[in-house]
Structure 1
Amino acid sequence: MKNILITITLLTSCFFIQAQTADQAFKKPLKEVISTIESRFKVKIRYPEALVADKQVTYAEWRFRPDLETTLHHVMDSQDITFTKEGEGKYKLQAFQYHLKTPEEGKLQLNYLSTLSPDITSWELRKTNLKNCIWQALEIAKAPAKPQSQAIITSKRIMDGYTVENVAIETLPGVYVSGSLYRPLKSKGKIPVILNPDGHFGDGRYRADCQYRCAALAKMGAMAFSYDLFAWGESTLQFKSEDHRRSHAQTIQMLNGIRILDWLLALKDADPTRVGITGASGGGSQTMLLTAIDDRIKVSVPVAMMSSYHSGGCPCESGMGVHLCGEGTNNVEIASMAAPRAQMIISDGKDWTQFVPQTEFPFVQRIYDLYHASNKVQNAHFPSEGHDYGANKRKAMYGFMAKELGLDLQKIQDTSGNIIETGITIEPFPALYVFGEKGEKLPSNAIKDFEVIEKMFSK
């Protein structure tokens, strides 16, 4: 017995020595391995120099196979690098994109997720588990209590059928979110509330399409509130632009939405039974996620964002790992958590929502069918359009919001019944600022260090 143990020990030691020797003998710089692949397979591979600098591939040529793409997988997977084909004989390398799958992988995931919720009982259980996990992943429960400060409100501008006021709300101690509140010029009784979170578009919430959208909703009879992404717009008076790409930016944006809604619903003429939300791109991500976790929202319209294979390329959309909940979920299942509340999913043909009609929307429809509420969900697809919140997408949203929230669509229609946005004033950017053109009105308690926020959530 003793001799057997000695033999096993010697063999084991020999294996590790050989493995370590082989590890050194077959290790090569990644850049050299890429050159070998290019030469052997007669292809061209482009990449940022910083992506491959100083990286080594263990057992480098042992990873080669007769097939090019199999070889690329074996080599690049070991480095957290992915590749895409750009044309015949041309490839591009990039850092592993954790938020992306292939369309086929997204479809396969949806097929699997369907097996987890074949009936209303199993779906309700999964939805509850997802919701609890999302709350935990976002760490919202760790946030300090809502500050008791009053909202900062600028003077009111009176427009054609609506008014505009700029508002800043302290959502965390020393952390302000800025936005603009559009209201009908004349209204009676309680009126609907519609959140308009911003997305990753140039010019932020100041851009014309955002002003058109909120003003039109106000003319129809709602109070519409548009607000900045974290570390965008006026938020950059407090934080660096790169802070927007920190994981906790997702938590702050969800908390901003919740606490803005708290403030809006405390207004004497707000109707808590008629609450909507709509946004595009990153604003679409916020629309789906906030609807999933906040039951006060009754109508949602995510635009140019719901996809089975794209979870949002910014940490402010996916940095807190909410898509890892339930052993793996995606934006389609998260959007389905709105059921049976009213929802219109707006998609187009030139971004990651291109397959919504045939792939993603049927999954959402099936969940609504479990509630016998198929009439409460719609898909407006624009195959020739791209990634935006353009006029056609807005028109689809106006009709849906009018129907579901009891708004007066005629307020933005011409005599032929066509939706028009004439009579809306597109204000210059500074008109929408709360804190002045140079930030001179920023409160004295405003923090300017992201590390202070991180400490708030470290308890």
Structure 2
Amino acid sequence: MKSAGILFGAALMALPAFSQNTFENQFRRPLGEVLNEISERFHVRLKYDIDTTGLVLPYADSRIRPYSVEESLTNVLMPFDFKFVKQNDTTYKLKKYEYPRRTEADGRKLIAWLTSLYSDKDSWELRRDSVKRQVRELLTIDDALAQRVGAKPVFSKARKFDGYTVQNFYLETLPGLYVCGSIYAPTGKGKHPLIICPNGHFGNGRYNTAQQQRLATLARMGAICVDYDLYGWGESALQVGSEGHQTSKAQVVQALNGISILDFMIERKDVDPTRVGVNGGSGGGSQSVLLSVIDPRYTASCPVVSLSSYFDGGCPCESGMPIMRAGGNTCNAELAATFAPLPMRIVSDGKDWTNIVPENEFPYIQRIYGFYDAKDKVSNVHLPNEGHDFGPNKRQAVYDFFIETFGLDRSKLDESKVTVEPHEALFSFGPNGENLPANAIRYQKK
């Protein structure tokens, strides 16, 4: 008679092969197959921004929760560093994990957590000073400033238009590295407010029509406005290529450029140093907030279609350095709040990451302004039916803010009086870099 152990072993060996092999293979199934099952089971549409080809999910069936499509998607996507974004009750978009982008729910939770950290002016200012100091450190801006060459800007001849002039300039900031920009100035005499206008990622950069319209109109109304190329865009691409913009150095250099341009502009005899504004849209809005954190000379700020608690910008020029680690985690809403109690207008819309500003970020910032009895100094213009651009209504919100804050002449508000110049007119070095200085870094295609 065979022993019980031998009989059990024989029985085990006689079991169907798939049972043993399935466990040893960790109950793997193709990811695409599992996602199709989730779509059918929960009657939802899954839109793909990811490639599932060849991806196999271990313990696939155990990850599905029959009572929750969202918990199922979280469990299924997690091993591949994928995530989902809910677009409506029946549609989910599957995406790669993005370190600067979270969800609206995350944004609300972060604002609630930040709100819990300070209850009055004193506790807020302790937090504010710590965050601002850490932002400088994480950005490494002081190291960059220490490497500046201290050069003087070189100007073109000013071009005269209806009520304003445009003058190009270039400035060496780091050895062999130049920033190019344009100065839009009113034709009237006297001291004028100054507005630094960092550029965003809209098509054609600082040369686009909306950019020229905005700066020229503000100039006609009495402000001196300055814009400049993004690192790796426009004439900067002659030096570092478009690839340069996709590096963390872009965020540092753009901040350095903003500080350096303000350095020489604020010394002009026709500039009123008590009225210095910063205004930009999209990535330019992110730069505007950052400049207001690291440079104390600004007295008014107007970020457009950028400010959010759940999106940090995404481009390396906005979030390439780990500045959001400051204070144990922060966001652009808290960074903007460090500007209190000075005048600020936030322009938002309903179709990008600024969509919940009126109910989330703005009340949070307004509360901090309340610590200074200055709630009237911060405002929000929300355009719920508009999307991510610097269109006429966004520009109008900017004009109104600087008219109210800097006393500009509203009677000169007329964009039809602006001459939109060809891109070449705004170049300092020529379309092919033929006028680059002898010591300039030159981009070499690989």
Q: TM-score, normalised by structure 2?
A: 0.88
> What is aligned with 2:410?
409
Whole-angstrom CA distance in 2 between matches of 1:131 and 1:40: 45
Whole-angstrom CA distance in 2 between matches of 1:24 and 1:243: 47
- The residue identity in structure 1 corresponding to 2:32 is I
CA RMSD after TM alignment: 2.3
How far off its partner does 1:334 sit?
1.0
- The residue identity in structure 1 corresponding to 2:183 is L
Change (3 A) 1:274 1:44: closer
Whole-angstrom CA distance in 2 between matches of 1:217 and 1:135: 31
Change (3 A) 1:175 1:402: same
Change (3 A) 1:361 1:181: same
| Partner secondary structure for residue 381 of structure 1 | strand
Q: 1:170 aligns with which of 159, 172, 182?
A: 172
Equivalent residues of 1:187, 1:221 under 8 A apart: no
> What is aligned with 1:14?
none
- The residue identity in structure 2 corresponding to 1:165 is Q
Whole-angstrom CA distance in 2 between matches of 1:84 and 1:388: 22
1:82-97 maps to which residues of 2 (within 5 A)? 82-85=83-86, 91-97=92-98
- The residue identity in structure 2 corresponding to 1:147 is V
Q: Deviations over 1:403-441 (max 9, x none)?
A: 2223222232xxxxxxx2222111111111111122111
Equivalent residues of 2:344, 2:378 under 8 A apart: yes
| Partner secondary structure for residue 418 of structure 2 | coil
Equivalent residues of 2:49, 2:93 under 8 A apart: no
1:19-418 maps to which residues of 2 (within 5 A)? 25-26=25-26, 28=28, 32-39=30-37, 42=40, 45=46, 47=48, 51-52=51-52, 55=55, 57-66=57-66, 67-85=68-86, 91-143=92-144, 144-188=146-190, 190-412=191-413
> What is aligned with 1:423?
417
> What is aligned with 2:433?
439
User: Which residues of structure 1 form unaligned runs of 5+?
Assistant: 1-20, 413-419, 451-459
Whole-angstrom CA distance in 1 between matches of 2:299 and 2:231: 25
Change (3 A) 1:139 1:24: farther
> What is aligned with 1:6?
none
Whole-angstrom CA distance in 2 between matches of 1:87 and 1:118: 36
How far off its partner does 1:27 sit?
7.2
Q: TM-score, normalised by structure 1?
A: 0.85
Equivalent residues of 2:347, 2:382 under 8 A apart: yes
| Partner secondary structure for residue 358 of structure 1 | coil
How far off its partner does 1:214 sit?
0.9
- The residue identity in structure 2 corresponding to 1:181 is I
Q: Deviations over 1:48-94 (max 9, x none)?
A: 67x44565544444433324432221121222111235678764422
Equivalent residues of 1:302, 1:346 under 8 A apart: yes
| Partner secondary structure for residue 221 of structure 1 | coil
Which 10-residue stretch deviates more, 162-171 or 77-86?
Answer: 77-86
| Partner secondary structure for residue 180 of structure 2 | strand
Query: Identity of counterpart residues, as a percentage?
Result: 45
User: Which residues of structure 2 form unaligned runs of 5+?
Assistant: 1-20
Whole-angstrom CA distance in 2 between matches of 1:152 and 1:121: 45
Q: Deviations over 1:20-60 (max 9, x none)?
A: x999631747xx133134136526655467x4456554444
